[in-house]
Every structure is written in C-alpha cells, then in structure tokens.
Amino acid sequence: MADFKHLDELLKGFAGKTVPGCGCAVAKNGEILYEGYYGLADIEAGKPVTADSIYRLFSMTKVIICTAAMMQFERGKFLLNEPFYEYFPEYRHTQVVEMDGNGSFHVREAKSPMLVRDTFNMAVGLPYPGKQHPTDVAMNAVRDELEKTKNGKYTLQDDVRAMGAVPVRFDPGTRWLYGFGHEMVAALIEVTSGMTVGEFLKKEIFEPLGMDSTAYRHFGDTRERMVCMYRPQSDGSFTKSSGFFDMRHEPDAVYEAGGAGLFATVRDYIKFTQMLANGGTLGGERIIGRKTIDLMRRNMLSPAQLQDFTNPYLEGYGYGLGVRTMMEPAGVTNMSVGEFGWTGAAGTWASIDPSEGVSVVYMHQTMPNNEYYHHHRVRSIAYGCL
C-alpha cells in the first residue's frame, strides 16, 4: 500500500528535474490529508513554491464555470435541451461548413439547432481556432474585427454574440471538438444572472468557500505570488516565458473567459474540489446539489463522440457536463468509476471522487506540461493511499 511519503518522494523527484516546482494536496471529507510544495516558483530569484503560490488554472477554469452554470440550471434559469438561441438569438440560424475535397467547401444550414447541452459537451463545432479550416479562419476574422472596433477591450458577451455568425465544423451535437463551448456556458451565466461571470463566481462560490486567492484579475499581492511560467529545454534547463492569457489578469482587463483565465492556489482549488466531492457542501456552506453533481459527471457522449474524445491520457474516461468522467478504469488506474475533473494547459490537474469523498489537486507551470508523465503518477500514489 502506498502512503504519503511516496507522494513526497515523487514530488521531490519532479522539482528541479521535470518541472521547476510543484504543489499538491489530497483531501477527504473536508479535511486535508496531505500537502506538499517543492522546488522553485521563480528560478532566477530563487523563490520557493509554498502554500501561498498562485497558479494559472487555464482549462481548470472550466470545471468552476460549468459548476456555476449548473447552479443556475438547478435554479430553473435554463434547461439543457433548450436551443442556445433562446438566450443568444445570434445562433438561431447556425451554418455548417462541409468540405468538398481539394480544399473547397460549401456552407449549409445546420440540420438541428445548437442546444444548451452542446455548449457544455464541447459539441458546438467551434474549436480553439487554428489557421487552416474555414471555421477557424472565420473565428479569427471575428476576433480581428472585435479588436479593431472595441480597441482590444471586447467582453465575453461581445465575443460569444459575434461568433454566432461563424459557420461551425459539424452539425451541433453530432461530434466532440474541444474549444469555444465553455465561453458560451460562461456567457449563459451572465445573461441568466444579470452579473458578469466574475461577479457571479465571487459571490456564489469563492466567498462562500473562502477561496480568497482565486480570481480573473490581479488584486492585493496576487501578482507577486504568481508562479513563473517556464519552457523545459532538451538539456534539462528551463526558460522563463509568459502565460498566453497573462494580459487578462491585469486590473484593467475586461474579458472573463469560460474556458481559461482564472488563477488560484492549491489550497483554494482543493476547497472547491472538496465541495464537489462531498455532495456540494463544505464547512456548512451548500453551493450546489448532490444530484446536480451526479448529472455533471454522467457521460454525455455518444459512441461517435467518444471516438473524438478518447486518447491515451484520457483512457477509460467519457465526458460529462464540462468534466472528464471515469467510465471504466480499463486496467490502467486505481480510481473509482464516476471520478471526475479536468486538466490545465500549464500542468494543473484535479481529481474528484464523490464515492470516497476524496479530491486531489496538483499544480505546476510549464508548457509543454508533460501531463501524462506527471498527472498519472500523482493519481496512482494518491489513490493508493486510500
């Protein structure tokens, strides 16, 4: 049986070798069982990683956003099978790109409307745009126009409404494609609550849970506590770089994204995950209902969509309402069916297991993050300690 000394040894082995520094916490039934912080938050300054170190969450923002949206769902603010155009009329006549071969394509009307559930499930056909596909080209053109007309200060709703004119890659609900869907979920929070998504998160989640170092934009000493971003080099060294959303952390920024953009400490995020692992409550504060959490962590993908989703890192998983969800451990992990969570681009990872009341949070800040190597080792040891 593993114990937490093995987790200490693992993290010590990461620090300064595969990553500059890292932090990890394991908790059960509202109590922290393990915390470990190793290595450097800033190599050049010799600054160590501590419990106060702040990390860019990148896509681990998504779990918070989808939880917040499902709070609105259980308050009757929307239904998952409603057309998204009921809240954003710009999506009433969604168009689809069909490739004809040899680089040519035509555009037709979608066979069915985009549903609210499709935005949670990454089934809207809007990616994080590259440069080649006609959908991606159109998305980039929309952003370029917003930059010009809004002088670089366009909002989440500006973005989501403008994207309604973009022809999507497939008929909504038929495939799975990682991308813009959770921006749409965050915008749904705004129109159903009358608040910005940042205001909603602060009032409904961060303040009740005591997550006092989590936000979109810098305040107090958060800038000084932010772990530096690094790029691993082939010789084992690390080169400092900037996070590609760092400008959105500035106090004068206005864009609050659904897919990325929050920062937090390990301690803050373990509070959030413990709330979800323990039926929606923590420290006497009820945030969301237990049955709503069960709905979130139910696989929503069809067999065809699962083929789009599955890769070696996600072996055994399906996808629910904004979270990966363990369907079948597949002989590679000691985790429970129904465990869920997500990962961030710079090396953050969270696992939530309601059947055990357990959650695990691990964080580092490198790109590429070498997620398979780090996260799967952490999960093996953490769940081996139970």
What confidence tens digit (pLDDT) does each residue in 327-347 have? 998 788 999 999 999 999 999
Q: How confident is the model at residue 1 (pLDDT cuts 50, 70, 90)?
A: low
Q: Are residues 145 and 247 in the same domain?
A: no
For residue 66, being part of any structural domain is answered with no
For residue 205, being part of any structural domain is answered with no
For residue 198, being part of any structural domain is answered with no
Inter-CA distances, 32 with 26, 217, 330, 348, 375, Å: 6, 27, 29, 18, 19
Could you tell me which residues come within 8 angstroms of residue 75 by beta carbon, excluding any fewer than 6 positions away? Answer: none
Q: Are residues 148 and 185 in the same domain?
A: yes
Q: How confident is the model at residue 326 (pLDDT cuts 50, 70, 90)?
A: very high
If you average pLDDT over residues 173-185, what whole number do you get? Answer: 98
Buried b (16+ CB within 10 A) or exposed e, 321-336: bbbbbbbeeeeebebb
* Structural Rg of the chain based on CA atoms: 20
Residues 349, 344: Cα–Cα separation, whole Å: 6
Residue 31 has pLDDT above 90, yes or no: yes
pLDDT at residue 103, rounded to an integer? 80
For residue 337, being part of any structural domain is answered with yes
- Min mean pLDDT across 99-108, 177-186, 259-268, 351-360 is at 99-108
Q: Are residues 181 and 221 in the same domain?
A: no
pTM for this prediction = 0.97
Q: Are residues 353 and 229 in the same domain?
A: yes
Q: Are residues 225 and 364 in the same domain?
A: yes
Instruction: Give 88's DSSP letter.
Output: -
Please identify, among 165, 193, 221, the residue that sits at the C-terminal boundary of a domain.
193
If you average pLDDT over residues 165-183, what whole number do you get? Answer: 98
Could you tell me which residues come within 8 angstroms of residue 344 by beta carbon, excluding any fewer than 6 positions away? Answer: 55, 56, 57, 58, 59, 60, 61, 260, 363, 369
For residue 348, being part of any structural domain is answered with yes
Name the percent of the chain lying above pLDDT 70: 100
Give the count of beta carbons closer than 10 Å to the beta carbon of residue 358.
Answer: 25
Q: Are residues 362 and 256 in the same domain?
A: yes
Q: Residue count of the chain, please give it.
A: 386
For residue 148, being part of any structural domain is answered with yes
Q: Are residues 39 and 107 in the same domain?
A: no
Could you tell me which residues come within 8 angstroms of residue 224 by beta carbon, excluding any fewer than 6 positions away? Answer: none
Q: Are residues 42 and 149 in the same domain?
A: no
Domain that holds residue 170: 84-193
Please identify, among 147, 163, 193, the residue that sits at the C-terminal boundary of a domain.
193
pLDDT of 180-232, one tens digit each? 999 999 999 999 999 999 999 999 999 999 999 999 999 999 999 999 999 99
Q: Are residues 255 and 185 in the same domain?
A: no
Q: Are residues 184 and 225 in the same domain?
A: no
If you average pLDDT over residues 236-247, what whole number do you get? Answer: 92
Q: How many domains does the chain have?
A: 2
For residue 371, being part of any structural domain is answered with yes
Q: Are residues 149 and 187 in the same domain?
A: yes
State the alpha helices, DSSP H only, in 194-236. 197-201, 207-209, 222-225
For residue 73, being part of any structural domain is answered with no
Q: Are residues 346 and 229 in the same domain?
A: yes
Could you tell me which residues come within 8 angstroms of residue 143 by beta carbon, excluding any fewer than 6 positions away? Answer: 159
Please identify, among 193, 221, 241, the residue that sits at the C-terminal boundary of a domain.
193
Residues 320, 340: Cα–Cα separation, whole Å: 9
Read off the CATH number of the domain in which 371 is found: 3.40.710.10
